[in-house]
Homo-oligomer: A and B are copies of this chain.
Amino acid sequence: MIVVMKPGAGKEHVQHVVELVQEFGLKEHVIYGTDRTVVACLGDKRMADKGAIENAPMVERIVPILAPFKRASLEVKKERTQVEIGPNKFSMGGRQVGIIAGPCSVESRDQILRTAEAVKEAGCIGLRGGAFKPRTSPYSFQGMGEEGLKILAEARDQTGLAIVTEVVGVEQVDLCAHYADVLQIGARNMQHFPLLEAVGRIDKPVLLKRGMSAHLDEFLLAAEYIMNEGNDQVILCERGVRTFERYVRNTLPLAIVPELNNLTHLPVVVDPSHGTGHAHLVPAMCRAAVAVGADGVMLECHPDPEHAASDGAQSITPEGLKSMMATLKRIAEAIGRTL
C-alpha cells in the first residue's frame, strides 16, 4: 500500500500517517518527492480497511499494491487447477475445451431428455438447466424445484453428461448437491456471501459467475470465499457485463480470459448466451470464446425457443448447436487444444 500525501502536507501530517500505518502492523518508508510525499507501507496484511487512512488530514489517496485475494492467486499456487466434473470426470482446465449446453429452465421431462440427447450427440460434455430460477419479476416462472433436479439426474444417467444447475439459496445447497454435478452460483448471487460459504463447505465443483458489474478483485474474492471454506473446485464463468451498449443484453468482455489466466490458476468458462442476449450473436461469440482461450463454453439451447419458459431470445436450437460444434473443434485445434 502506498499513501500519497496532498501537496503542502507538513511533517506532522506525515508523522500522523506513519503512526496509523504502524498501528496496522505495517512498516513505513517515507519518500519525499519534489511535489508530493508518499508513504510506502511494507508488510502483507491485505486488510480491507486501510482505506480509513484516506480520512487522515492531508492524505490524497491510497494506492493498494498487493492483490487482495490469496488462495485463488497464481502467485500462491503456480500450477493450473483442473476441476473434474460429471460421471466421465471431464477435466475443466485441461487441454480439451468443454462445451456445456441446455435450456435456461427445466420445463418438462421430455424437453430435458430430448435436449440432453441432442447436446450429447453434438459433442458437449455437460448439460445445463435450472430447477430453481432467480427471476427478475415475481410473476415469472420460478422453476420446477426438486422435480426438475430429478429430471436432470435422469438425463445424466442416460447420457453421461455432467449436470450444471444453479443454486439460489443456502437452503437448497444440499438438495442441489445431491442431484447435480456442478453447482452454479449466478451473477446476481456472486456476492451472496452466506451462499458462497455454504457451497464452500460441500465437496462438489462450483461454477461461479461474475456479477454483471463486478471488478476482477471482487470476482476473485468471491471465489476466495468458497475456497476459504475448503472447496478448491471452483470454475470461473464470465457471462457479460452491463454497459451503455443497447444492441446486446450484456457486453461480453473476452479479454478477461487471458487476464484471469495471468491472475489465477482456476479454469475459466464463457457464457455467450447471457453474454449477448440474442441467439443470432451466440455462434460467433462461441467461436471467439474458444479462440481467446476459454477452458469451456456454456450456452443455452432449447428444442423450441419460441415456447421457452425463460430466455427464449438467447437460446439456439439443437440443429444450430450441432452445426456450430464442428467449427469450434477446428478453432480449438488451431490453438493447440481439442474439443
Contact = CB atoms under 8 A, between A and B. Distances in A.
Interface stretch (A47-55, A115-123, A151-159): A47-55
A79 interface: no
Nearest to A224: B138
Interface stretch (A81-89, A92-100, A173-181, A242-250): A242-250
Contacts of A140: 47-49
A108 interface: no
Contacts of A169: 170, 194
A56 interface: yes
A196 to B, nearest CB: 8
Contact of A258 (B36, B213, B280, B330): B280
Contacts of A275: 255
B254 A218 contact: no
A23 to B, nearest CB: 8
A264 to B, nearest CB: 12
A2 interface: yes
Nearest to A216: B247
A208 interface: no
A263 B47 CA distance: 29
Interface of A: 2, 4, 7, 20, 23, 29, 31, 33-36, 38, 40, 42-44, 46-49, 51-56, 62-63, 65-66, 68-69, 75, 134-141, 168-171, 188-189, 191-194, 212-213, 215-218, 221, 224-225, 228, 241-248, 251-259, 262, 275-276, 278-281, 284-285, 287-293, 305-313, 315, 327, 330-331, 333-335
Contacts of A242: 213, 244
Given A134-B191, A194-B168, A276 B255 contact: yes
A193 B34 contact: no
B65 A33 contact: yes
A7 B335 CA distance: 28
Nearest to A45: B139
A287 B292 contact: yes
Given A138-B224, A169-B170, A306-B55, A40 B31 contact: yes
Contact of A137 (B141, B224, B292, B311): B224
